[in-house]
Amino acid sequence: MNTRKALTEARLILIGIPVALWTLIPIYHMFLFALSSKQDAFSGELLPLHPTLNNFRIVFEEKHYFLIHFWRQLGNSLFIAITVGIITLVIAAAAAFSISRLKSRGGRLVMNCALFTYFIPAAFLAVPMYKAMGVYGLLNSQWALILAMITLASPYAIWVLKQASDKLPYELDEAARIDGATPLQLFRLVYVPLMVPSLVAIGTYALLLAWNEYLYAFLLLSNDKDITLAVALGHFLSADDSPWEVLMATGLIYALPPAAIYYVFRRYMVTGLTAGAVKS
Amino acid sequence: MSTLALPQIEPAAPSGPVRKRMSPWQTWGFILLAPYVVVFLVFVLYPVFYGLWLARHPQSYVDLVNDPIFFGSVINTLIFLIVAINLKMMVALFLSGFFIRTQPWIRWLSVLFILPWAVPSIPTILSVRFMLNPEWGIVNQVIFRISGADGPNWLNDRWLALSMAMAVHVWKSLPFWTMILIAGRLSIPGELYEASSVDGATGWQKFRFITWPSVQALYLTSLILSMIWTLGDFNSVYLLTGGGPADLTHVLATLGIRYLRLDQVDLSMATIVCALPLVLPLVYFMMKRLSK
């Protein structure tokens, strides 16, 4: 029996090693570049032989042509992500409450509209959205990106929140009604407190979606002082002699907050976001 | 503001011959629904119709079909959908079986495994791009050190570059689908497996007769959903190859944006309209499945 157990374990390790390598190599490569001087980065060494934080210093002191607005762009990314997270949360929670708890007429139609939006491939909606933003006179305003990201994030948000709120016992609402609660009180005092885990998951989802977005950001914003860090990273591609090691340092700084947020909220994220999917 | 004041009014007291007054609950239902409805009308419905209106000239489609890049993009998109997605979902199904095991080291690995999905795509895709650089990229340097021969010019050959773009796509989205399928597997009652073990079922039989029937529907839903999203995957191709070499690795998503950047909005919208026969059946299928 013991040899059989060892055999299974060996087989598992044979799966685990390729999985670990496949997952980590591109990320390790980022670290390798970010910690190397230009010379070392291009030498093909697999380990950082002379690790240096110089690239990070260049980024933080905005000491490169591509990075003169680094702090500002970091701030833009932060502002846009947080705004999208909050507004999406409010819109989606209100809609899900209305559809699921108040059983509003037309709620089903709205849910279907949201689902339909969710299923339009994002890159296809980008072109019409870009033209429409032009009509609204919002191009090159950060609000264009914020509104676009809210549009992209809220369908899934509504759907997940609706699934979660359908599970709350309906007797709670009845009890609140009998006690004379207004709809808003029901929302504020009963619904929101019970929904906290899903709300955290959805707020985080919307925030990360906005922080990570590249395509919409690069279409809707062009002024160097308004763009997000994602677009700024894309700018490095425009020159052949770009400082890739500095780019990787910037990329690492950009990738750190979402990774950290993800791990902090991991429990909420996984259960909140997969719950809807499993049900279908 | 009258609607806001409504909740205080006793709904039982009809004031005049109004057609069935809305109760405060219904009023609030509409008010709470309104923000999303506005977002949908202004940022989805209007843009979609405006876009379709821009795509109304038959000439755009003639121009599009005459552009050799278009035909190549359609082929690339189909390869992407059929090869990459099926491969990804099969691996995800396989790995979901691996990651539900309870050994501590597998738990730790699963935490790392999520990274590609948790980290934004731009820096990681660019990292892969540098790894594949033919002269100083780390992949070719390692190949040179091991074999003494020059490695391939990864991003300068159509099929090789497209394969790399598909690999990047799989790398990025595999964790998400694995997680979904793990959740699916965890919802299977454990007694089924215990009972089958008592009956002496092999691992394959357990998969074939317990796991697969239970996750089949979820697998299909995930497959379709992943196809729809992949149609809109702009980053994997654009950031890795930029559509190159010689615009040979474009997919419909990057082609549409390419025309937009070249100020050929008609062509851009026509490209998207041409993708609709691919998208709409998938969307219809998903809507039927999820709105039940």
Test mutation, B99, B103, B119, B174, chain A, max A CBs within 10 A: B119
Contact A111 B291 (CB under 8 A): yes
Give the range among A147-156, A238-247, B1-10, B152-161 with minimum mean pLDDT.
Answer: B1-10
CA–CA separation, B138 vs B145, rounded Å?
10
Task: State how far the Cα of A20 lies from the Cα of B175, in Å rounded to an integer.
Answer: 12
Is the pLDDT at B12 greater than 80? The verdict is: no
Listed by number, the residues of chain B in 129-168 with a beta carbon closer than 8 Å to a beta carbon of chain A are 130-131, 136, 138, 141-142, 145
Report the chain B residue with the minimal C-alpha distance to residue A271: B183
Query: Is the Cβ pair A258, B279 closer than 8 Å?
Result: no
Does residue A128 register a pLDDT over 90? Answer: yes
* A112 in contact with chain B, both atoms CB, cutoff 8 A: yes
In a domain? residue B163 = yes
Phi-psi region of A103 (alpha: psi -120 to 50; beta: other; left: phi over 0): left
Q: Cβ separation of B48 and A125 shorter than 8 Å?
A: yes
Average pLDDT for residues B4-10, to the nearest whole number? 40
pLDDT at B20: 57
User: How many angstroms separate the CA atoms of A79 and A19, rounded?
Assistant: 36
For residue B18, pLDDT over 50 is answered with: no
Domains of chain A, first to last: 2-60 (no CATH), 69-244+255-279 (1.10.3720.10)
- The reply to whether A214 touches chain B by the CB within 8 Å rule is yes
Residue B17 confidence class, pLDDT cut points 50, 70, 90: very low
Check whether residue B115 and residue B257 sit in a common domain.
yes
CB pair distance less than 8 Å for A280 and B179: no
The C-alpha angle with vertex B139 and arms to A262 and A35, in degrees rounded to 5, equals 55
Q: Are residues B190 and B240 in the same domain?
A: yes
Task: Tell me whether residue B60 is in a domain.
Answer: no
Q: Are residues B104 and B213 in the same domain?
A: yes
Cβ neighbors of A145 (< 8 A, separation 6 or more) are: A80, A210, A213, A216, A217, A220, A221, A228
Q: Which of residues 217-246 of A touch B (CB under 8 A)?
A: 219, 230, 233-234, 236-237, 244
Instruction: Count Cβ atoms below 10 Å from residue B187 Cβ, excluding itself.
Output: 12
pLDDT, chain B, mean: 86
Asked if pLDDT for residue B253 goes beyond 70, the answer is yes
In SS3 terms, chain A reads as: CHHHHHHHHHHHHHHHHHHHHHHHHHHHHHHHHHCCCHHHHCCCCCCCCCCCCHHHHHHHCCCCHHHCCHHHHHHHHHHHHHHHHHHHHHHHHHHHHHHHCCCCCCHHHHHHHHHHHHHCCHHHHHHHHHHHHHHHCCCCCHHHHHHHHHHHHHHHHHHHHHHHHHCCCHHHHHHHHHCCCCHHHHHHHHHHHHHHHHHHHHHHHHHHHHHHCCHHHHHHCCCCCCCCHHHHHHHHHHCCCCCHHHHHHHHHHHHHHHHHHHHHCHHHHHHHHHHHHHHC
Tell me whether residue B239 is in a domain: yes
Mean pLDDT of the region B208-217: 89
Higher pLDDT, A239 or B108: B108
Compute the nearest-CA separation of A219 from chain B (Å): 9
Per-residue confidence (pLDDT) for residue A274, from 0 to 100: 61
**CATH number of the domain that residue B107 is part of:** 1.10.3720.10
What average pLDDT does the segment A242-260 reach? 89
Residue in B48, B131, B257 nearest the CB of A123: B257
A104 lies within 8 A of chain B by CB: yes
In a domain, B116, yes or no: yes
Through-space distance between the first and last CA atoms of chain B, rounded to whole angstroms: 37
Q: Sort out which chain A residues have CB atoms less than 8 A from B282's CB and list them.
A: 119
Looking at the structure, do residues B83 and B12 belong to the same domain, yes or no? no
Chain A neighbors of B50, CB-CB under 8 A = 128, 131-132, 135
Asked whether residue B44 falls in the same domain as residue B137, the answer is no
Q: How far apart are CA A132 and CA A118, in angstroms?
A: 19
Mean pLDDT of B201-214: 88
Do B182 and B42 lie in one domain? The reply is no
pLDDT band, very low/low/confident/very high, at B13 (cuts 50, 70, 90)? very low
Task: State the angle between helix axes of A122-136 and B212-231 in degrees (0 to 180), rounded to the nearest 10.
Answer: 40
CA distance B187 to A278: 8
In a domain, B62, yes or no: no
Confidence class of residue A58 from pLDDT cuts 50, 70 and 90? confident
Q: What does the pLDDT average to over A131-157?
A: 93
Number of domains in chain B: 2
Give the confidence band of A272 by pLDDT, cuts at 50, 70, 90.
low
Asked if pLDDT for residue B50 goes beyond 60, the answer is yes
Rounded CA-CA distance A139/A127 in Å is 13
Confidence band, pLDDT 50/70/90 cuts, at residue A55:
confident
Judge if B122 and B197 occupy the same domain. yes
- Specify which of A36-50, A75-89, A180-194 reaches the highest per-range mean pLDDT: A75-89
Q: How many beta-carbon pairs below 8 A join chains A and B?
A: 296
pLDDT at A90: 95
Together in a domain, B166 and B195: yes
Q: Is B111 found in the same domain as B215?
A: yes
pLDDT at A135: 93
Most A CBs within 10 Å: which of B10, B33, B202, as the mutation test of the A interface? B33
DSSP 3-state of B148: coil
| pLDDT greater than 90 at residue A61 | no
Q: Look at residue B14 in the predicted model and tell me its pLDDT.
A: 43
Chain B hits for A159, Cβ within 8 Å:
290
∠ CA A224-A79-A155 to the nearest 5 degrees?
A: 110
Measured distance CA(B85)–CA(B80) in Å, rounded: 7
Of the residues B54, B78, B96, the one at which a domain ends? B54
Q: How far is A177 from chain B (nearest CA, A)?
A: 10
**Residue B227 pLDDT exceeds 50:** yes
Q: Look at residue B15 in the predicted model and tell me its pLDDT.
A: 45
B-facing residues of A in 126-155 (CB < 8 A) are: 126-132, 135-136, 147-148, 150-151, 154
Test A132 with B113 for CB contact under 8 angstroms: no
Confidence grade of residue A28 (pLDDT, cut at 50, 70, 90): very high
Q: What is the model's pLDDT at position B292?
A: 62
Position B61 in a domain: no
Q: Is the pLDDT of residue B59 over 50?
A: yes
User: Considering the domain boundaries, does residue B266 fall inside one?
Assistant: yes
What pLDDT is recorded for position B11? Answer: 44
- Give chain A positions within 8 Å (CB) of B138: 29, 32, 44, 46
Does residue B226 sit in the same domain as residue B123? yes
Does the structure show a pLDDT above 60 at A32? Answer: yes
Q: How confident is the model at residue B92 (pLDDT cuts 50, 70, 90)?
A: very high
What is residue B223's three-state secondary structure? helix
What is the three-class DSSP state of B250? coil
Residues 193-252 of B with CB under 8 A from A: 217-218, 221-222, 225, 228-235, 238-239, 242
- The domain of B7 spans 1-54
Query: Between chains, do A211 and B120 touch, taking CB under 8 Å as contact?
Result: yes
Distance from the Cα of B50 to chain A's closest Cα (Å) equals: 7
Rounded to whole angstroms, the Cα distance separating A126 from A169 reads 40
The answer to whether position B63 is within a domain reads no
Nearest chain A alpha carbon to B118: A259
Residue with more model confidence, A256 or B6 = A256
- Would you say how long chain A is, in residues? 280
Same domain, B50 and B123: no
**What average pLDDT does chain A have?**
87
Residue A241 predicted with pLDDT over 80: no
- Confirm or reject contact between B38 and chain A (CB < 8 A): no
Q: Is the peptide bond before B175 cis (omega within 30 degrees of 0)?
A: no
Give pLDDT tens digits for A258-271: 988 888 887 776 66
Rounded mean pLDDT, B121-145 = 88
Task: State whether B133 and B254 are in the same domain.
Answer: yes
pLDDT at B21: 63
ipTM: 0.89
Nearest to A165, CA basis, from A265, A109, A98: A98
